[in-house]
């Protein structure tokens, strides 16, 4: 998902909310045609063919990022506990 522009990420989030192309255009103040161009570019970059596949990839990436973030938090907590053993009961 890092290969997407910030605008393309906004489009992905709007798709995830269930907005139509027209709704996305209205929200982002762009034409429906521009939304279609963004979607075409997003599909190409992520190797998907439609909205459903896009949402599956976006969900998998979000879950992966959350798991990674959680793992980092857990590692930091372990390091903190080791650095400050007096604070742990």
Domain boundaries in the chain? Answer: 6-87
pLDDT for position 88: 47
Each residue's pLDDT tens digit, 39-75: 999 999 999 999 999 999 988 877 666 655 555 655 6
Q: Is the pTM of this model over 0.75?
A: no
Each residue's pLDDT tens digit, 6-49: 999 999 999 999 999 999 999 999 999 999 999 999 999 999 99
Whole-angstrom distance, CA of residue 10 vs CA of residue 38 = 10
Query: What are the tokens at 84?
Result: 């400050």
**Tokens 């980092």 belong to residue:** 72
Return the CATH fold of 6-87: Arc Repressor Mutant, subunit A (1.10.10)
**pLDDT of 79 above 80:** no
């Amino acid at each position: 998902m890092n290969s997407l522009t910030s605008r393309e990420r906004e489009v992905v989030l709007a798709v995830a909310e269930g907005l139509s192309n027209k709704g996305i255009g209205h929200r982002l103040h762009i034409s429906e045609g521009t939304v279609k161009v963004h979607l075409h570019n997003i599909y190409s970059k992520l190797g998907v063919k439609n909205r459903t596949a896009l949402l599956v990839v976006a969900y998998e990436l979000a879950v992966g990022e959350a798991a990674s973030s959680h793992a980092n938090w857990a590692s930091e907590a372990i390091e903190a506990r080791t650095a400050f053993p007096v604070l742990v009961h």
